[in-house]
Structure formats: structure tokens, C-alpha cells
């Protein structure tokens, strides 16, 4: 709790002028791609796929942020909450758009259903897309301890490859990567961001804090449907 308060005070200090926040040129689509859980690759259910992503009970802040960014453009965006607290985000149009960025390289699980799909590396055309993707990754998987930024997630070899590629393309120095062979395997990036990357990552932290304050409980979120 003390660490969270420290981070939020630190970030709030950077963005004390609200005009600075408005200058963040975020690509929402690539931000969303960064948040996706690609554990063992993405499963694509064609052609009537409505599944955007799944979330653990402690990841409600990710759902809240995505709702704030996409609900107006995708009014069919819904979140189902299971009795366990796990959440699933659904939207036919948004799921279709997300799946277009992935290459179906995995095995066919059943008719019109594929597992192990990976994000195509050639979809990144601009630095804004690169920064936005890493901001999405950091929103869900990032932590800050003093000046040490970490991104940690399990398995998801495709996401590891994309992050390595983006750090290199953005000429980020001092990025350390650790792969721990276990069940599940753990992947950790450690670095001290500078320039635009730092601004984008701290903006993601700001979004997380603002939305956590806006929604005090699931009942205040009209797009949520409880699953009995």
C-alpha cells in the first residue's frame, strides 16, 4: 500500500498540469494489444468470436481502463464476472478488430478455433504504436520500485518477442531480461525508462489510479453483468 501511494504521488507530481496529460498521444488499439494475456498464445474462435480477453480477480483495474477507452466506440462491450471473481470481456466488433492483428500459427483446436496465435510483428508502423503497446503491457504487468521499472508475466513467448523487438526499435538502453524456467515460466524485463517511454508508462499508471478511484465497487459499473 505504501509503495502504491508513493508511485501515485510521484506520478501526480509529474502530471500536476492537466494539459500534460492531454498531450499524451495514445493509440488505443495498440494500448489494448499490450494489455492482452497471451499465455501460450491467443485463442481465436472464428467466425463469431466475441471474446476480447480474460482477467483475474485482482485485474479489475484493467477492465475499467479499457471500458473508459472503448465503450463509446464499441457499445456492445460487456464484462461478465464469474462467482470466483474472474472476468471476461466481450465485444464482437472489438474482438474481430483485435484478432486481425494476430497470425494463426498454432494448432487447430476445433472447427474454426485456433490456439497459439501470435501478434504479427509487422503491424507496428509508428513509434506512437510502439509506445502505446508498451504502456498497455505496463498497465497490466508493470511495477515500480524507486527508479526500477519491471514488467513480469508468465509464459507468453510471443509477447516476450514483441517487447524485445520494441525496446530495440525504440533504442531503449539498459533493459535486462530474465527468463525463469518453471511451471509456469516467468519472464521479467527490468529497466529505467527515459524520455517518451517514461511518460507513456507513467501515464498508464495514472490511468490505473484514476479509474481505481472512480469505480469503488463493481456495482457502479453499468457494463458489468454478474454470472450466476
Q: pLDDT averaged over consecutive 10-residue blocks of the chain (228 residues)?
A: 41 44 80 93 76 94 94 96 95 93 62 72 97 97 89 92 97 95 90 94 86 39 39
Please tell me the total number of residues recorded for the chain in this structure. 228
CA gap 156, 186 in Å, rounded: 9
**142 contacts 3 by C-beta, under 8 angstroms:** no
CA gap 80, 227 in Å, rounded: 6
- Which parts of the chain fold into alpha helices (H)? 2-14, 18-22, 28-35, 60-70, 92-99, 127-141, 157-169, 195-214
Taking alpha carbons only, the member of 159, 158, 115 closest to residue 140 is: 159
CA gap 207, 32 in Å, rounded: 13
Distances (CA, A) of 144 to 11, 75, 151, 152, 178: 11, 34, 9, 11, 17
- pTM of the predicted protein model: 0.82
CA gap 72, 76 in Å, rounded: 9
Position 211 scores a pLDDT of: 54
Provide the 8-state DSSP code for 206.
H
Position 112 scores a pLDDT of: 53
**38 contacts 159 by C-beta, under 8 angstroms:** yes
CA gap 37, 39 in Å, rounded: 6
Domains and CATH numbers, the chain: 26-226 (3.10.28)
Q: Which grid coordinates are listed for 40?
A: 501460450
Position 134 scores a pLDDT of: 98
Amino acid at each position: 500500500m505504501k509503495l502504491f501511494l508513493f508511485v501515485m504521488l510521484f506520478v501526480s507530481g509529474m502530471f500536476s498540469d492537466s494539459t500534460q496529460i492531454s498531450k499524451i498521444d495514445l493509440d488505443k488499439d495498440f494500448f489494448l494489444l499490450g494489455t492482452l494475456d497471451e499465455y501460450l498464445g491467443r485463442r481465436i474462435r472464428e467466425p463469431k468470436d466475441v471474446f476480447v480477453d480474460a482477467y483475474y480477480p485482482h485485474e479489475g483495474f484493467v477492465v475499467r481502463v479499457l471500458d473508459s477507452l472503448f465503450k463509446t466506440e464499441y457499445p456492445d462491450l460487456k464484462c461478465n464476472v464469474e462467482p470466483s471473481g474472474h472476468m471476461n470481456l466481450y465485444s464482437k466488433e472489438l474482438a474481430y478488430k483485435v484478432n486481425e492483428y494476430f497470425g494463426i500459427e498454432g494448432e487447430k483446436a476445433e472447427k474454426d478455433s485456433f490456439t497459439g496465435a501470435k501478434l504479427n510483428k509487422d503491424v507496428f508502423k509508428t513509434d506512437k504504436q510502439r509506445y502505446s503497446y508498451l504502456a498497455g503491457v505496463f498497465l497490466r504487468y508493470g511495477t515500480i520500485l524507486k527508479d526500477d521499472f519491471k514488467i513480469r508475466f508468465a509464459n507468453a513467448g510471443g509477447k516476450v518477442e514483441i517487447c524485445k523487438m520494441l525496446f530495440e526499435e525504440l533504442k531503449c538502453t539498459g533493459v535486462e531480461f530474465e527468463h525463469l524456467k518453471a511451471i509456469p515460466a516467468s519472464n521479467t524485463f527490468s529497466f529505467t525508462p527515459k524520455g517518451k517511454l517514461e511518460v507513456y508508462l507513467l501515464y498508464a499508471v495514472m490511468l490505473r489510479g484514476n479509474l481505481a478511484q472512480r469505480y469503488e465497487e463493481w456495482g457502479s459499473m453499468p457494463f458489468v453483468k454478474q454470472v450466476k
